């Protein structure tokens, strides 16, 4: 029996590394920035992909894979892709229900390539789609857009061409609400099946400038999602420790010893789940990331709660309720912040300045509400 009890104790205090937590951060490198090409039928979207990739029209067609019923994507390069082109049916087609695609694809895309043929003055379908994307897809950065004006060879008069391009550009920027990078292209198919490259270098340059920013944003986003998923798997454990700490702090004086001990066991347990051991160095780093005055505020709050519970009569009741709420909230917040810190430590990713403090403060708000509810139920 003693041996069994020791095994249980060792699992709770020194649990093994949780292999399930590894899955999330292993997925972070599998995501690609998605460049969504918006344009009407015949605007030249496929020609753009053909020019940028160097593939034939047939190979481009075979390379596109269905994404929704009316859209498809093309990984570039196909062997070791660094980005993904997303193409929809031509906006404005009579039988194309674009709204369904907009709802789905606006949340899975990270940049926009708005393709307009210079001679086509009717772009209401494209502008309407762009307006919806701006409102619904907040994650697409305001600078993550390129306007591509195609068919430059179709207007021989340079003055007319410039005026037409400016008109389209003004419409796009009016809808998007800020200046938009642009280029003019004329990818005309030659007799040998290749395309001329007017504007190709400029387009490659624009995409090249945006790609590092998109990749970095996507990596941060993926890590944010993975870190949250990991915490969701450990949330039950953190809540158990929060409830245990709160219950112990309801007893006068006892919380002075029990709460730090319970929170310490929680931190130790969480670190083992991530396969990391606390050291003086990383614990100091964790504390510093929570703010320079965190340790002082922690000790002051703990002492104040114990003193409040010693006041006779109403003070004991109110002080006890306050102690329960704060202990519950602070334990939950400490566990939430520790999971975030341990995740970034495990994945060797940088925690932004103030990021851990924000995680802690948000968790404190959630914990206080839950702690108050627990206190209310307990006193019914």
Q: Is the pLDDT of residue 24 over 90?
A: no
Q: Is the pLDDT of residue 71 over 90?
A: no
Q: Which residue has the higher pLDDT, 27 or 128?
A: 128
Q: Is the pLDDT of residue 2 over 90?
A: no
Q: Tell me the pLDDT tens digit for each residue of 320-373.
A: 566 677 888 889 999 999 999 998 888 877 777 788 999 999 988 888 776 555
The H or E element that residue 237 is part of is helix 200-249
- Report pLDDT for 316: 46
- CATH 3.40.50.300 residue ranges for the chain: 32-198
Q: Tell me the pLDDT tens digit for each residue of 237-255.
A: 899 888 888 887 666 656 6
Q: Is the pLDDT of residue 184 over 60?
A: yes
HSE-CB for 52 with a 13 A CA cutoff: 23
Q: Is the pLDDT of residue 306 over 90?
A: no
What DSSP string runs through 318-338?
A: HHHHHHHHHHHHHHHHHHHHH
> pLDDT confidence of 114, banded at 50, 70, 90?
very high
Token pair belonging to 48: 């753009």
Distance CA 212, CA 190 (A): 33
Write down the H helix ranges in 14-97: 22-26, 45-53, 57-63
> pLDDT confidence of 169, banded at 50, 70, 90?
very high
Q: Which of 70-79, 195-204, 253-262, 352-361 has the highest mean pLDDT?
A: 352-361
Q: Which residue has the higher pLDDT, 39 or 373?
A: 39
Average pLDDT score over residue span 284-290: 89
- Report pLDDT for 376: 52
Q: Which of 59-63, 111-115, 211-215 has the highest mean pLDDT?
A: 111-115
Average pLDDT score over residue span 10-16: 45
Q: Is the pLDDT of residue 162 over 50?
A: yes
Q: Where are the beta strands (DSSP E) in the chain?
A: 34-39, 65-68, 71-76, 83-88, 111-117, 145-150, 181-184
CATH number for the domain whose boundaries are 32-198: 3.40.50.300
Say if CB 306 and CB 238 are below 8 A apart. no
> pLDDT confidence of 317, banded at 50, 70, 90?
very low
**In which order are the strands placed within the sheet that holds 145-150?**
65-68, 71-76, 83-88, 34-39, 111-117, 145-150, 181-184
Q: Tell me the pLDDT tens digit for each residue of 352-361.
A: 778 899 999 9
Share of the chain above pLDDT 90, in %: 13
Distance CA 29, CA 41 (A): 34
- Report pLDDT for 350: 74
> pLDDT confidence of 302, banded at 50, 70, 90?
low
Distances from the Cα of 159 to the Cα of 59, 121, 165, angstroms: 37, 16, 10
Q: Which residue has the higher pLDDT, 33 or 37?
A: 37
Task: Calculate helix-pair angle for 355-378, 200-249, nearest 10 degrees.
Answer: 40
Q: Which of 28-32, 80-84, 107-111, 263-267 has the lowest mean pLDDT?
A: 28-32
Q: Which residue has the higher pLDDT, 348 or 57?
A: 348
- Report pLDDT for 266: 92
Q: Is the pLDDT of residue 115 over 60?
A: yes
Average pLDDT, the chain: 75
> pLDDT confidence of 65, banded at 50, 70, 90?
low
Q: Which residue's structure tokens are 């704060």? A: 326
Average pLDDT score over residue span 291-315: 63
Q: Is the pLDDT of residue 309 over 60?
A: no
Examine residue 77 and say whether the peptide bond preceding it is cis (omega within 30 degrees of 0): yes
pTM tops 0.85:
no
Q: Which of 125-134, 243-252, 310-319 has the lowest mean pLDDT?
A: 310-319
């Amino acid at each position: 029996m003693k041996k069994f009890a020791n095994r249980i104790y060792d699992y709770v205090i020194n649990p093994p590394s949780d292999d399930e937590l590894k899955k999330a951060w292993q997925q972070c490198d599998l995501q690609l920035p998605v460049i969504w090409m918006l344009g009407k039928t015949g605007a030249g979207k496929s020609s753009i992909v053909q020019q940028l990739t160097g593939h034939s029209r047939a190979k481009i067609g075979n390379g596109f894979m269905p994404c929704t019923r009316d859209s498809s994507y093309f990984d570039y390069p196909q062997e070791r892709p660094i980005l993904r082109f997303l193409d929809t049916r031509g906006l404005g087609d009579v039988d194309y229900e674009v709204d369904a695609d907009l709802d789905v694809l606006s949340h899975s895309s990270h940049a926009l390539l708005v393709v307009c043929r210079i001679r086509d003055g009717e772009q209401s379908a494209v502008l309407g789609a762009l307006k919806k994307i701006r409102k619904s897809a907040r994650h697409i950065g305001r600078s993550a857009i390129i306007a591509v004006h195609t068919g430059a060879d179709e207007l021989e008069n340079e003055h007319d061409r410039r005026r037409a391009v400016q008109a389209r550009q003004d419409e796009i920027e009016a809808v998007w609400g800020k200046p938009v990078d642009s280029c003019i292209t004329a990818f005309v198919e030659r007799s040998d099946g290749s395309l001329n490259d007017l504007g190709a270098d400029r387009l490659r340059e624009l995409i090249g400038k945006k790609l590092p920013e998109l990749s970095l944003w996507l990596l941060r986003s993926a890590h944010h999602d993975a870190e949250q998923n990991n915490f969701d798997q450990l949330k039950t454990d953190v809540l158990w420790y929060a409830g245990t700490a709160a219950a112990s702090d309801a007893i006068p004086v006892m919380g002075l010893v029990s709460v730090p001990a319970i929170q310490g066991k929680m931190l130790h347990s969480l670190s083992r789940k991530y396969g990391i051991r606390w050291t003086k160095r990383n614990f100091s780093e964790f504390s510093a990331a929570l703010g320079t005055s965190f340790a002082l505020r922690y000790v002051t709050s703990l002492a104040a709660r114990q003193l409040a519970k010693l006041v006779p009569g109403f003070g004991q009741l109110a002080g006890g309720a306050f102690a329960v709420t704060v202990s519950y909230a602070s334990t939950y917040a400490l566990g939430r912040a520790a999971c975030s810190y341990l995740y970034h430590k495990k994945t060797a990713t940088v925690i932004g300045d103030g990021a851990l403090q924000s995680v802690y403060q948000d968790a404190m708000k959630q914990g206080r509400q839950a702690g108050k509810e627990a206190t209310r139920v307990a006193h019914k």
